[in-house]
Amino acid sequence: MSARAALRPLPLNGAALSTRTQNPQLLRGRGCWSSKRFTSTTAPPTAAPGKPAKSVFRKYVFRTSLVLTLLSGYFYATDTRASIHRYVVVPLVRWLYPDAEDAHHAGVDALKELYRLGLHPRERDSPDKDGKLATEVFGYTLSNPIGISGGLDKHADIPDPLFELGPAIVEVGGTTPQPQDGNPRPRVFRVVSQAAMINRYGLNSKGADHMAKVLKERVRAFAYAHGFGDHDAAEQRVLNGEAGVPPGSLFAGKLLAVQVAKNKTTPESDIAAVAQDYVYCVDRVAPYADIVVVNVSSPNTPGLRGLQAAGPLTEILKGVVGAARRIDRKTKPFVMVKVSPDEDSDEQVDGICHAVRESGVDGVIVGNTTNRRPNPLPKGYVLSAKEQQTLSETGGYSGPQLFEGTVALVARYKEKLAAEEGSTPKAIFASGGITTGRQAQAVLDAGASVAMMYTAITYGGTGTVTRVKNELREEREK
């Protein structure tokens, strides 16, 4: 089955419809609502003997008004266009959770619970519904060119709530072969005046087996809801594309990327052991991914960035590509490598491009957080003493200040990875400093297929993707 064909919706039979009706949460997860929830056939009550008709009518009007008010509040609060998400929720979370990592966990937990209850934010009038933002990636027609970067959903807890916010790509992870705690806390810091972050999480992970279990259960639930059953054969049918949606995202016009990395305790000098770490992850999580992302660029794992040298990187990527192609699925997951914005010399970029070509990797994500500390924006802005102290913290920096460097590096990779005649072009995703639709268009013009965000969402709230897509439409209509 071709990738394009995999996006055609599968007509539901009676059994599937019955199953979906019995499972309202799965209906909510796909934006489907039963009209019975909101439709009332009850006529206004008549006055009981001895009660004035005016009194009964007033009660009826009051109750009806209350229901309509609550309903309006529900639709407003769960719409990504609502300004409350940016101007109320984000400052409130920052006030309630001075520690940025606590805020991160609270946000993930809240989205997970709201989704379970059907009260999650979602796009009610998507800017990409008319196809004007559609783009081609790996043979798929995506609904838009916006993605959410890895790190926001580290353990694949909330891919569905994130897809509901409007991106066409959601990257979860990274996961390591064995569970690891990451670095000691505190390890995440805000630079609020710059809408920036510094983190040294250190690839904290529950392990590849845990993530595989979570993703497997998600596919099983989807298979059951769509009438395929709840058994191994049902899961395999969904993974083979019989549901008419990509097997990773389970959403038409969208793709799920799963990021993999090595354990901190695996010595970077033992390239065979490092490659085996990545292969271990791929063997377990790749069946449930549309894209596998190889992270060799986190600045918070000692020695990891050294793996971007041409020799070791080629060996690692060959192992990952081979493992991905062995996955028991009709359409195999694509493989991308996430590179550092700091490895930007001609020699380093040339070496990475050589490894990409030699290994058969499908694309590059440019880039990741940086060890550098950019000058404040706007030019001449003086940081407070507290923020200057924050900048001295060890870790990867992310925020709007990375944008110019991202555009320049995307253009260089685009030039150096230019497809030879008859070969398939390598995809490029841009990640770093993108906060507006104009910036998204700039990285697309530089050669990227997708513009990805993370830090912008932590400061802009759950409506950020919708806002950026609307701004992107405006840019294209100028």
Exposure of 206 in the CB half-sphere (CA atoms within 13 A) = 14
How many Å apart are CA 228 and CA 237, to the nearest integer? 8
Instruction: Please tell me what DSSP assigns to residue 427.
Output: E
Asked if 207 and 179 count as a contact pair (C-beta separation under 8 A), the reply is yes
> Angle between the 208-225 and 271-285 helix axes, to the nearest 10 degrees?
20
How many Å apart are CA 156 and CA 163, to the nearest integer? 12
How many Å apart are CA 235 and CA 231, to the nearest integer? 6
How many Å apart are CA 53 and CA 60, to the nearest integer? 11
Selected catalytic residue, list 249, 297, 298, 431: 298
Burial class of 224 by CB neighbour count within 10 A (0 to 12, 13 to 18, 19+): buried
CA separation (Å) from 103 to 42, 90, 92, 131, 336?
45, 10, 10, 35, 30
55 catalytic? Reply is no
Omega before 299 within 30 of 0, i.e. cis: no
Cα angle for residues 408, 413, 419 (degrees, 5° grid): 140
Exposure of 354 in the CB half-sphere (CA atoms within 13 A) = 14
Residue type, 381: Y
- Tokens found for residue 168: 């066409």
Which residues are designated catalytic?
298
